[in-house]
Amino acid sequence: MAPKLLRRAVEALSTFKIETPSWGFADTGTRFGKFFQDAAAIDTNDKLADAGQVHALTGCCPTVAVHVLWDFQPGQDPKAVAKLARKHGVKIGAINPNLFQDQDYKWGSFGHNDPAVRARALKHCTDSVALMSGTGSEYLSLWFADGTNYPGQGSIRDRKKFFEDSLRALHAKLGPKQTMLVEYKPFEPAFYATDIADWGMAFLLAKKAGPRAKVLVDTGHHYVAQNIEQIVAWLLDEDMLGGFHFNDRRYADDDLTLGSIDPYQVFRIFHEIHAFAADRGKAPKIAYMVDQCHNEKPKIEAMIQTVVMAQELFAKAALVDHEALRRAQAKNNVVDAELLLKQAFFTDVAPALAAWRKAQKLPADPLAEHRRSGYEKTAAADRRARRKALGLGHGGSFA
């Protein structure tokens, strides 16, 4: 690897941080059922411990996203959860309200036609803002299951208005250093009309909410034919890209480890971010987050795979020669423009990763080190015994 490229890749790795999700360490499943793992986290302490293990091995996951109903006990001081996170070498990251689990939300939350339900959903979100303040979190991450399953079931325009009003009211509760991220999803669980079904809807709602509202792009929340990097480029240009939920998918929202299906797509997304930074002379502020639940792979191993792949692809994307690319684009030189991306993608960045890890005093191979550590075996034995003592059965609790 040429010294110039090595330096560029190492510099990129030094700036890259990605947040792991607490729920990615617990037992989860499909709508058909769960497949349990002995080493899966039982409670918030376990989740933060597992996240700490990932950060200790990879060096780039200092924060953990948490779900309000799954990670905070009623009446619990949020500072206690923040202290627990610090004990395991991490900090609390994005706060995720839960607006899809309770029976009141059968017909929606912010999009519900009953103002009392909308008020309850808004209170839950404003309570979540208080949790942000108590834990030091910068981000309120909003995903809504709201929508309708049949034509005529609800007024699409009314539901849009309900969302506008609720998001504007929520934005007013944010502190000056707090940002709310509006996520979108084309379908599931609403199969006729999801209330925030694409990036344009999320963009418009965030713009109307206020200046501290941005769009969150989940890489799994797109139809197969969609050009995600084009969406990213547009949002960047409009200063409306707030964050990512990274995963991979073959069909839709499959929660697969990053790059397991299409690593070149993730590379192209990172390329748009690097290109934007090169043009503006400053990297955009983006919350990079993982959103995955693993039913077959061991939880921590899968998370390490995703994080290491994200580092690799971010470093590769930093190798694109933007000046040469601009020259090729100016001449409509399609072949050379494409080759500049392909050459960067196929560059072996292992030397850069090795150099960066050595400088950070990290293991050369995080996954191999995790396996050598015996962490999984110890956690499995401890958690089996605790489940038995607590009478939780084999699977434990989702939270």
Note the pLDDT tens digit of each residue in 272-309: 999 999 999 999 999 999 999 998 999 999 999 999 99
Is a pLDDT exceeding 90 seen at residue 379? Answer: yes
Average pLDDT over residues 250-266: 95
What is the pLDDT at residue 240?
A: 98
Do the domain assignments include residue 380?
Answer: yes
Chain-wide mean pLDDT for the chain? 96
110's tokens? 């912010």
What are the DSSP calls for 2-33, one per residue? -HHHHHHHHHHHHH---BEEGGGGB--EETTE
Residue % of the chain over a pLDDT of 70: 98
pLDDT per position as a tens digit, 130-162: 999 999 999 999 999 999 999 999 999 999 999
Average pLDDT over residues 79-84: 97
Outline where DSSP puts E strands in the chain. Answer: 20-21, 29-30, 33-34, 63-67, 91-96, 139-142, 147-148, 179-183, 193-194, 213-218, 241-246, 287-290
The residue length of the chain stands at 399
Position of tokens 């905070």? 72
Do the domain assignments include residue 18?
Answer: yes
- For β-strands 29-30 and 179-183, DSSP reports them as unpaired
φ and ψ at 188, to 5 degrees?
Answer: 75, 115
What is the pLDDT at residue 34?
A: 83
Do the domain assignments include residue 32?
Answer: yes
Position of tokens 């929340």? 221
- For β-strands 33-34 and 29-30, DSSP reports them as antiparallel
Do the domain assignments include residue 398?
Answer: no
Local structure of 241: helix, strand or coil? strand
Average pLDDT over residues 172-178: 97
Do the domain assignments include residue 399?
Answer: no
* pLDDT confidence bin for 35, thresholds 50/70/90: confident
Do the domain assignments include residue 218?
Answer: yes
Average pLDDT over residues 223-235: 97
- CB contact at 8 A, 36 and 27: yes
Average pLDDT over residues 382-399: 76
Average pLDDT over residues 364-381: 98
Average pLDDT over residues 212-233: 97
Average pLDDT over residues 12-33: 93
- CB contact at 8 A, 138 and 174: no
What is the pLDDT at residue 396?
A: 42
CA distance 90 to 245: 19
* pLDDT confidence bin for 339, thresholds 50/70/90: very high
Is a pLDDT exceeding 80 seen at residue 199? Answer: yes
What is the pLDDT at residue 33?
A: 82
Average pLDDT over residues 65-94: 96
What is the pLDDT at residue 353?
A: 98
CA distance 345 to 339: 10
What is the pLDDT at residue 218?
A: 98
- Helix 366-373 to helix 375-390 angle, to the nearest 10 degrees? 50
What is the pLDDT at residue 398?
A: 40
What is the pLDDT at residue 394?
A: 57
Say which residues have a Cβ less than 8 Å from residue 308's Cβ, sequence separation at least 6. 58, 366, 367
Domain that holds residue 265: 3-384
361's tokens? 């005093």
Do the domain assignments include residue 391?
Answer: no
For residue 197, the 8-state DSSP code is: -
Is a pLDDT exceeding 70 seen at residue 224? Answer: yes
CA distance 244 to 37: 27
What is the pLDDT at residue 75?
A: 87
Q: Is the dihedral of CA 198, 200, 203, 208 positive or negative?
A: negative
85's tokens? 């996170």
Q: Is 182 exposed, middle or buried (0-12, 13-18, 19+ CB in 10 A)?
A: buried
Domain with 359 in it: what CATH number?
Answer: 3.20.20.150
CA distances 12 to 247, 309, 387, Å, are 21, 14, 43
Is a pLDDT exceeding 90 seen at residue 32? Answer: no
Nearest CA among 80, 127, 76, 65 for reference residue 99: 127
pTM of the model: 0.96
Number of domains composing the chain: 1
Do the domain assignments include residue 390?
Answer: no
